[in-house]
Structure 1
Amino acid sequence: MTTTPLTLSPVVVTGAAGFIGSHLTDALLAHGTEVIAIDRRSVHKDPVAARNLADALTNPNLAFHQADLATDELDELDELISGARIVFHLAAVPGVRDSWDERFRDYAASNVVATQCLLTACERAQVPRLVLASSSSVYGQTSGPSTESDPTYPMSPYGATKLAAEHLCMAHAARPDTSTSVVALRYFTVYGPRQRSDMAISRVLAAVLSGVPVPLYGDGQQSREFTYVDDIVAATLAAAAIPGEVGAETVNVGGGSSVSMLELISVVGQITGRKVPLTMEAPRAGDVEATRADLTRAHALLGYSPRVELRDGIARQLDWMVKQPSPQSISEPSVGEVVLR
């Protein structure tokens, strides 16, 4: 797979203190790339941000800036991205359930308004490429593998904000006076070390480790294409390095297969040698029956093929979880349920 050339330094990573953003930041620093990391969370006050960037913060090639893309002064953002060759836009509020309630204003600001502000700044700074982290949630209910040309019918406000961010990117990339090309990557349920504590695999593993039952919503037949974070990072780096005139592209990034929640629970039981404690709950608004990615375009444009199989990836995540000194004190706020995206 193609990787980001070191000559593209410096690069900007928004949402750098998050689950995927911190892994991407680590990978870029490992390449010797100069990284301008932006996140609205404080690495001094937020324990999750501090944990995720613990190694990166010791690297002299990292410059961390606490900033809110949606509300901070535009001239400050202009200064941060000035001279950047690549901007990786991962900053967003994630999760389906919370997007239905009073938090929607935060979703709209962080996922839509912030994207518009960043795109405008990229055009002023003449950044050659922006890579957007989108989501499989834009598809909604599907009957088979999703292709990038399929209709999009998001079933949650969260999915709607991610699709809006994509449309903003495409609109800006189509401007005749822009020099910023865009690659929007539709991530399919990402897992691995540092995964948010409210997501499915984290919750199932935590249930095994603690003995506290995890809610299973519906009949357990709903399926997801789980994608290991290292594969996500590899695809994201490749998106930055697509040669030639890109304009605007949308690309699925998945794990290669879709499994049901019952199959996932079985795999966790086999890995740990323990039964996963469950409580059965009614289905939730916004959850789709299945996600599955057609990776034809990812193969062609990114040279992408997922490398980490689900069993191996879950074992790596479990190993990371048991090594955490105090999982409860550093876990991100949980809504007490499995999140399927």
Structure 2
Amino acid sequence: MKILVTGAAGFIGSHLCEYLLANGEHEVIGVDAFVREELHMIGTKNMDSFLHHPRFSMITANMLHLDWKILLIDVDIIYHLAGIPGVRSSWGADFRSYVESNILATQQLLEACRQSSIKKFVFASTSSVYGETTGQVSEDTPLAPLAPYGVSKLTGEHLCRVYSKNDGIPIVILRFFTVYGPRQRSDMAFHRFIKQLLANDPITLFGDGSQTRDFTYISDCVEAIAAVADAPHVVGETINIGGKERAAVIQVIQALEILTGKKSEISASSSLHGEPMHTWADISKAKRLLQYEPKISLEAGLAKELEYFIDFYK
């Protein structure tokens, strides 16, 4: 298959490209503008293992400036992972970049798909669209984002449904729950905790640490994303992608202390502005439609991420 991955240089996108190239004879086209400052600084480091692969080609350009009609010729699957992530930075004037990258770019890509022959358009959404919930959340749970970021991703979902209904675009929406692992963004909690522990700096903790998350290891997440390509009966579906286990944030810090052999000093911040206290994915739909079964325990996943960043920060 000919597969296009937007956000190919990012955390999830780079792992997905790597997986697709290693599993099958796919031709993969990566698109990334390196818009985020972090990606601009590290360049193609996330892509080192596949950047020069014979079946991979990279397009470095802003999605808003691409000629999609030409680029989508003969493309079978689009994995639309590109966008500006992060809850805390989505407030104020910075929301403009979220509108451009998460809403306008999505609409422009969907518009181009009207003239294409793609088999599936897979949109990467987020658990942030649910807002504050209790217990396990299924895909039909009422949606009430707590932050502008969640609003931007929910708008992307609505655009997908509009183009699906009116133009027959074969959309599939995946809602990710707190993905972690090697190459994780520097603003995400596990990466920050590890970096601060390795540097013997106080750990910055938002809230009191009792908030719980459904943590999804990157390889589990990517296997679920890749499975969409061959899965029957998924077009038009919205599917939660959660992890093997949940935990409180303070438990994660304690696990990292054991793994590093270091005791941390906590620098607490009371703010959980725009973030829910708990997330918990009902993944029964993913199990049924994608044969998804997360394999990596939180302890094993943390060990893998720690090993990666020990080397990274050398």
Per the shorter chain, which TM-score range? over 0.9
* Contact in 2 for aligned 1:268/1:276 (Cα 8 Å): no
Deviation at 1:321, TM superposition (A): 0.6
Identity %: 41
Match of 1:241 among 226, 230, 237: 230
Match of 1:36 among 21, 29, 37: 29
Partner of 1:20: 12
Partner of 2:174: 185
> For the residues of structure 2 that align with 1:124 and 1:155, how far apart are their CA atoms?
36
> For the residues of structure 2 that align with 1:204 and 1:114, how far apart are their CA atoms?
32
Deviation at 1:205, TM superposition (A): 0.9
Partner of 1:127: 118
Task: Give the residue type in structure 2 aligned to 1:192.
Answer: G
> For the residues of structure 2 that align with 1:49 and 1:138, how far apart are their CA atoms?
30
Partner of 2:255: 267
1:156 aligns with 2:144: no
1:225 aligns with 2:251: no
* Contact in 2 for aligned 1:256/1:293 (Cα 8 Å): no
* 1:202-244 C-alpha deviation (Å, 9 max, x unpaired): 1111121011112112211111111000011000011222225
Deviation at 1:47, TM superposition (A): 4.0
Task: Give the residue type in structure 2 aligned to 1:29.
Answer: L
Deviating 4+ runs (over 4 angstroms) = none
> For the residues of structure 1 that align with 2:73 and 2:202, how far apart are their CA atoms?
49
Partner of 1:198: 187
1:88 match: secondary structure: strand
> For the residues of structure 2 that align with 1:80 and 1:38, how far apart are their CA atoms?
10
> For the residues of structure 1 that align with 2:252 and 2:90, how far apart are their CA atoms?
25
- Of stretches 150-159 and 23-32 in structure 1, the one that deviates more from structure 2 is 23-32
Partner of 1:173: 164
Partner of 1:58: 52
What CA RMSD, in Å, does the superposition of the two structures yield over aligned residues?
Answer: 1.4
> For the residues of structure 1 that align with 2:110 and 2:249, how far apart are their CA atoms?
37
Q: What residue ranges of structure 1 are gaps of 5+ in the alignment?
A: 1-8, 327-341
Partner of 2:134: 143
Q: What residue ranges of structure 2 are gaps of 5+ in the alignment?
A: none
* Contact in 2 for aligned 1:225/1:291 (Cα 8 Å): yes
Match of 2:299 among 279, 303, 311: 311
* Contact in 2 for aligned 1:34/1:62 (Cα 8 Å): yes
* Contact in 2 for aligned 1:218/1:282 (Cα 8 Å): yes
* Contact in 1 for aligned 2:244/2:298 (Cα 8 Å): no
2:191 match: secondary structure: helix
* Contact in 1 for aligned 2:20/2:26 (Cα 8 Å): yes
> For the residues of structure 2 that align with 1:222 and 1:283, how far apart are their CA atoms?
12
Match of 2:272 among 284, 294, 302: 284
2:145 match: secondary structure: coil
* Contact in 2 for aligned 1:18/1:49 (Cα 8 Å): no
1:321 match: secondary structure: helix
> For the residues of structure 2 that align with 1:308 and 1:132, how far apart are their CA atoms?
24
Change in CA separation of 1:47 and 1:33 when aligned onto 2, cut-off 3 Å: farther
Match of 1:302 among 271, 276, 290: 290
Deviation at 1:325, TM superposition (A): 5.5
2:228 match: secondary structure: helix
> For the residues of structure 1 that align with 2:216 and 2:262, how far apart are their CA atoms?
24
* Contact in 1 for aligned 2:103/2:155 (Cα 8 Å): yes
Deviation at 1:306, TM superposition (A): 0.5
1:207 aligns with 2:187: no
* Contact in 2 for aligned 1:226/1:255 (Cα 8 Å): yes
Partner of 2:84: 93
* Contact in 1 for aligned 2:129/2:154 (Cα 8 Å): yes
> For the residues of structure 2 that align with 1:11 and 1:49, how far apart are their CA atoms?
22
Deviation at 1:277, TM superposition (A): 2.5
Number of aligned residues: 310
